[in-house]
């Protein structure tokens, strides 16, 4: 294709994107990235491009990340045996220190680094900074696994006002200073509510929510909170999807415009969601229906 033709095509696409850009101008979008997502360098690069482009066209992205696999890997290198109960990592004092070290000092840094290849844009933040997240123990039997107690979004709002991109590690502390590892899905939802976000996006390693878990063609494109709650109540959903769905429901019920389950293995999936009206992953809204 000639240079001129390529430029014309590029221009046409930009113009098609214009209504989407205008619709979301100034909106906060919280994007939750699983620990797996940073493992593939190519995906990590396209993710960073998406986030930087979102900011360039006037959205205000906030990244929240987990890091389970990386925590387990370091524990294993140190000769420790990760133990899980009901899907939660049993977390003693040494484990929470390792989790914090890996999340704040490794996974967060890799995301910040990928973003900052595009300029001095990103700032790593832990839930412990400036009282962002206070935590309580979920269950004594699990040790230092925490739930979000309160969110003080002042620090994030300040960074967003400076046009910076916060990247949040999901460590919280209680009043005594004890730290907890908190489920990143729940943190993303809580931050989206506190920041009055337009969207909260979960990048997963499945295509979205399936009506029939055994039928890959049964992807639900769009669902309302009530219908989704019915599915939960009917016991249709299983495994790791349950807490993610709970987080989505909580977000849209407290004012977030929509929650999205997207397939993080797909390059540029965040942009695909933002710039097409239909068909990427599953969208959850308070009342159902793609707008």
Q: Does 56 bind its own copies (CB under 8 A)?
A: yes
Determine whether 288 is an active site residue.
Answer: no
Stretch that binds its own copies, among 9-17, 27-35, 192-200, 233-241 (CB under 8 A): 9-17
Q: Which is nearer to its own copies, 89 or 100 (CB)?
A: 100
Please choose, out of 174-182, 201-209, 213-221, 236-244, the segment that lies near its own copies by the rule CB under 8 A. Answer: 174-182
Catalytic entry in 34, 143, 244, 257 = 244
How many amino acids of this chain bind its own copies (CB under 8 A)? 77
With respect to its own copies, which residue has the nearer C-beta, 144 or 275? Answer: 275
- Work out which of 119, 211, 212, 230 binds its own copies, going by CB under 8 A: 119
Nearer Cβ to its own copies (248/280): 280
- Give the residue, chosen from 15, 42, 81, 234, that forms a contact with its own copies under the rule CB under 8 A: 15
Is 27 a binder of its own copies (CB under 8 A)? no
- Sketch the per residue contact string, 193 through 232, with its own copies: x for CB under 8 A, - otherwise: ----------------------------------------
Taking CB under 8 A as the rule, does residue 236 contact its own copies? no
Query: Does residue 136 touch its own copies according to CB under 8 A?
Result: no
Which residue, 50 or 228, is less far from its own copies as judged by CB?
50
The answer to whether residue 41 forms part of the interface with its own copies (CB under 8 A) is: no
Instruction: Give the 3-state DSSP-derived string for the chain, with helices as H, strands as E and coil as C.
Output: CCHHHHHHHHHHHHHHHHHHHHHHCCCEEEEEECHHHHCCHHHHHHHHHHHHHHHHCCCEEEEEECCHHHHHHHHHHCCCCCCEECCEECECHHHHHHHHHHHHHHHHHHHHHHHHCCCCCEEEEECCHHHCEEEEECCHHHECEEEEEEECCHHHHHHHHCCCEEEEECEEECCCCCEEEECHHHHHHHHHHHCCCCEEEEEECCCCCECCCCCCCCECCEEEHHHHHHHHHCCCCCCCHHHHHHHHHHHHHCCCCEEEEEECCCCCHHHHHHCCCCCCCEEEECCCCCC
Q: Is residue 8 close enough to count as binding its own copies by CB under 8 A?
A: yes
CA 227/CA 234 separation, integer angstroms: 11
Tokens coding 255: 């004012």
Residue 199 bears catalytic tag: no
Q: Hey, which residues are catalytic here?
A: 32, 35, 68, 185, 244
């Amino acid at each position: 294709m000639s240079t001129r033709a390529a430029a014309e095509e590029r221009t046409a696409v930009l113009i098609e994107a214009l209504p989407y850009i205008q619709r979301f101008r100034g909106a906060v979008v919280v994007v939750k990235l699983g620990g797996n997502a940073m493992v593939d360098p190519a995906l990590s690069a396209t993710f960073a491009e998406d986030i930087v482009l979102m900011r360039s066209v006037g959205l205000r992205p906030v990244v929240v990340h987990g890091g389970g696999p990386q925590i387990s890997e370091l524990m294993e290198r140190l000769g420790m045996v990760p133990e899980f109960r009901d899907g939660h990592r049993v977390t003693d004092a040494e484990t929470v220190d390792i989790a914090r070290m890996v999340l704040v000092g490794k996974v967060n840094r890799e995301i910040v680094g990928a973003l900052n290849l595009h300029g001095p844009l990103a700032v790593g933040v832990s839930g412990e900074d400036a009282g962002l997240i206070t935590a309580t123990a979920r269950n004594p039997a699990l040790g230092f696994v925490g739930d979000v107690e309160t969110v003080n979004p002042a620090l994030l709002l300040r960074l967003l006002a400076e046009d910076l991109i916060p990247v949040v590690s999901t460590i919280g502390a209680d009043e005594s200073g004890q730290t907890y590892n908190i489920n990143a899905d729940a943190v993303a939802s809580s931050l989206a509510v506190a920041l009055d976000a337009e969207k909260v996006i979960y990048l997963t390693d499945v295509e979205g929510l399936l009506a029939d878990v055994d039928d890959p063609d049964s992807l639900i494109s769009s669902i309302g909170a009530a219908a989704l709650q019915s599915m939960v109540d009917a016991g249709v959903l299983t495994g790791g999807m349950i807490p993610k769905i709970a987080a989505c429901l909580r977000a849209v019920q407290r004012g977030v415009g929509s929650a999205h389950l997207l397939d993080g293995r797909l390059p540029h999936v965040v942009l695909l969601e933002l710039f097409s009206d239909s068909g990427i992953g599953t969208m959850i809204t308070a009342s159902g229906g793609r707008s």
